[in-house]
Amino acid sequence: MKKIATIGGDGVGKEVMEAGLTILESLDLNFDYIEAHAGDEYFQKTGLTIPEETVKIAKNSSATLFGAITSTHGEKSPIITLRKELDVFANLRPVKSFEGVNSLFQNLDFLIVRENTEGLYSQIESLEEKKEKEKFKTIKSIATRVITKRASEKICNYAFKKAIEEDRKRVTCVHKANVLKKTDGIFKEAFYNIAKDYSKINQNIVVNDYYIDATAMYLITKPQEFGIIVTSNLYGDIISDEAAGLVGGLGLSPSANVGDNNGLFEPVHGSGPDIAGQNIANPIAMILSIAMMLDFLKEKYYGDQIRLAVENVLKTKKVATPDLGGNSKTMDMADAIKNELKQLI
Ligand code: NAI
Ligand code: MG
């Protein structure tokens, strides 16, 4: 029996987890669910944002489902800690438009591949303080941005592997090597080294690179051009929210964090404090993350059926949470998808 760790977290994270689990439990899958804790609420009770136990449960599971956490407390972010501990080096964030959703663009379909273990999210920060008139005053704070050749090559290799697997026509490296010559210089060089290797086995993939600032514009002026974007941690985080905005918002944007041995699946969004507690969060980002988890667990048939059920429900527009312009509740949306799924299977 496959073990699935579930970490709801805070705010809408818990709400979409509950909705997502009703979908999973309606399928004929022999999974054992183990609940684990992380986040602000857990911190209020225990003084820890992520206990060792949660990391252990995630490591011993076939896959981990994560809702979202509020990150006001604690030195280190629980989700970034989990990604590091599980060594899920690739963060995959598909950007896809849906029929029936009023969005800035239709017919978009590309994938952001974000390096997940280093960059500016290495969480190496320091403060330099000086005593001035009985008080300490911060005079300098430093964050270390780690970029290694090994991790850069690994993520670029993964991006090309995905391009072939998903028949994507273009792979774009996003960086800022004109300013960050040493760190992003390594990333860009790793990209072109790997591109050269792949050109020997597949000459059909167009390869290019853009600076991150220009990319922020191209995502709005010519998003149809993108096939796969491969980039470092912080840039990937920022442009994936921007890209979500092109196709209907964070309520529809799933993600997978994958490594050689582990998989961690979560919506792109956070704990949504502005809408938490009202049961109006859109559960689709979580439900599509579950579909990605099923692909990872070699249950692609169910992953495909979930994606189809989501597409069908969005197309009819009968059920829509407030982010999609309606007034349905989280569970109305989950139930509609569950019923559609029943028809399909
Ligand atoms: P957020 O992603 O929670 O919210 C941004 C916007 O998206 C808000 O307008 C929110 O209402 C909307 N939104 C989020 N999820 C939605 C859903 N399922 N359906 C419909 N609309 C949805 O980001 P924000 O407000 O910047 O951060 C809130 C908290 O979440 C912070 O404490 C932040 O640190 C944390 N966070 C946690 C993440 C994680 O656990 N992986 C990721 C991003 C933020
Ligand atoms: Mg983010």
Please state which of the ranges 32-46, 130-144, 169-183 shows the lowest mean pLDDT: 130-144
What integer pLDDT is reported at residue 129 of this predicted model?
82
Instruction: Give 340: exposed, middle or buried? Use CB within 10 Å, 0-12, 13-18, 19+.
Output: buried
For the chain, the average pLDDT equals 96
**pLDDT beyond 80 at 345:** yes
N residues, the chain = 345
**pLDDT beyond 80 at 209:** yes
Which listed ligand is nearest to 252 at the C-alpha? 1
Which listed ligand is nearest to 330 at the C-alpha? 1
> What are the CA-CA distances from residue 37 to residues 10, 41, 42, 53 (Å)?
10, 9, 7, 9
Please list, residue by residue across 129-168, b when 16 or more beta carbons sit within 10 angstroms of its beta carbon and e when fewer do.
Answer: eeeeeeeeeeeeeeeebbbbeebbbbbbbbbbebbeeeeb
**pLDDT beyond 80 at 74:** no
What integer pLDDT is reported at residue 182 of this predicted model?
96
> What are the CA-CA distances from residue 188 to residues 149, 160, 183, 184, 233 (Å)?
10, 14, 9, 6, 14
**pLDDT beyond 90 at 202:** no
Fold of 1-89+252-345: Isopropylmalate Dehydrogenase (3.40.718)
**pLDDT beyond 90 at 137:** no
- The protein residue whose alpha carbon is closest to atom 12 in ligand 1 is 272
Tell me how far the alpha carbon of residue 228 is from its chain's centroid.
15
Atom of ligand 1 nearest to the CA of 9: 40
Mutate to test the pocket of ligand 1, among 7, 49, 250, 269 (most ligand atoms within 8 A of CB): 269
**pLDDT beyond 90 at 132:** no
What integer pLDDT is reported at residue 127 of this predicted model?
87
What integer pLDDT is reported at residue 77 of this predicted model?
87
Domains 1-89+252-345 and 109-245 share a fold: yes
> Domain map of the chain by residue range?
1-89+252-345, 109-245
User: What distance in angstroms lies between residue 143's CA and the mean position of ligand 1's atoms?
Assistant: 24
Ligand 1 pocket residues where CB is under 6 Å = 12, 16, 68-72, 79, 250-251, 266, 269-275, 281-282, 285, 323
Per the CB < 8 A criterion, the answer to whether 295 and 258 are in contact is: no
Atom of ligand 1 nearest to the CA of 285: 18
- The protein residue whose alpha carbon is closest to atom 34 in ligand 1 is 71
**pLDDT beyond 90 at 223:** yes
What integer pLDDT is reported at residue 167 of this predicted model?
95
Which listed ligand is nearest to 285 at the C-alpha? 1
**pLDDT beyond 90 at 283:** yes
Crossing angle for the helix pair 78-85 and 52-59, to the nearest 10 degrees? 40
pLDDT confidence of 203, banded at 50, 70, 90?
confident
Which tens digits make up the pLDDT trace of 13-26? 999 999 999 999 99
Per the CB < 8 A criterion, the answer to whether 88 and 81 are in contact is: no
Dmax (CA) of the chain = 72
Looking at the domain that runs over 109-245, which CATH code has it been given? Answer: 3.40.718.10
Which residue has better confidence, 312 or 125? Answer: 312
**pLDDT beyond 80 at 136:** no
Neighbours of ion ligand 2 (CB under 5 A): 237
Question: Average pLDDT, stretch 41-50?
Answer: 94
